[in-house]
């Protein structure tokens, strides 16, 4: 019998299942990602340490959803970019059209200063999202239109 601590994470299986469900039903799958140094995304699109990515087959090329990574190529501002997201950094997957999907527990915090954010260069500290306590660690979905 396998000990639960030895079993693999359910996150990649759930991400693949919800991606397939979105695709089969004509919805656009989006993933919310908590960005750190292990995440390869265009940093200029990172907001408050997070980025939301359209992971539909129409928006990506060479999509791979493995147990360890989501990897694909996509255009940002007309420029093709290679995107690599460790599965452990995915904090939600949902359908753009109706918001149905699933949020995951946030990964363990990275060492101070390791999180990458496009606003980190500004002199003012980042503001917490409106309507939430600043010490909240619950994942939050944002509607993107």
* pTM metric for this prediction: 0.72
Q: Is the pLDDT of residue 2 over 90?
A: no
CB atoms within 10 A of CB 81: 14
Length of the chain: 145
Residues 85/41, Cβ–Cβ less than 8 Å: yes
Q: What is the dihedral of CA 120, 121, 127, 130, to 10 degrees?
A: -80
Task: Tell me the domains of the chain and their CATH numbers.
Answer: 10-104 (2.30.30.220)
pLDDT tens column, 122-135: 343 444 444 444 44
Longest dimension (CA), the chain: 54
pLDDT tens column, 18-68: 999 999 999 999 999 999 999 999 999 999 999 999 999 999 999 999 999
Residues 117/126, Cβ–Cβ less than 8 Å: yes
Q: Nearest-CA neighbor of 59 among 117, 144, 140, 142?
A: 144
pLDDT tens column, 55-75: 999 999 999 999 999 999 999
Q: CA-CA distance, 105 to 85, in Å (whole number)?
A: 16
pLDDT at 108: 78
Q: CA-CA distance, 132 to 13, in Å (whole number)?
A: 30
**Range 103-127 average pLDDT:** 58
């Amino acid at each position: 019998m396998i000990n639960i601590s030895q079993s693999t994470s359910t996150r990649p299986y759930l991400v693949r299942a919800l991606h397939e469900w979105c695709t089969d039903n004509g919805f656009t799958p989006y993933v919310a990602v908590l960005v750190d140094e292990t995440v390869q995304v265009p940093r200029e699109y990172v907001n408050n340490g997070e980025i939301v990515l359209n992971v539909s087959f129409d928006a990506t090329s060479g999509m791979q959803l493995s147990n360890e990574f989501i990897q694909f190529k996509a255009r940002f501002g007309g420029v093709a970019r290679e995107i690599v997201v460790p599965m452990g950094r995915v904090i939600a997957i949902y359908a753009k059209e109706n918001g149905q999907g699933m949020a995951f527990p946030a990964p363990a915090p990275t060492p101070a200063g390791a999180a990458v954010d496009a606003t980190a260069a500004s002199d003012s500290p980042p503001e917490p999202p409106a309507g939430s306590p600043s010490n909240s660690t619950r994942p939050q979905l944002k509607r993107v239109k």
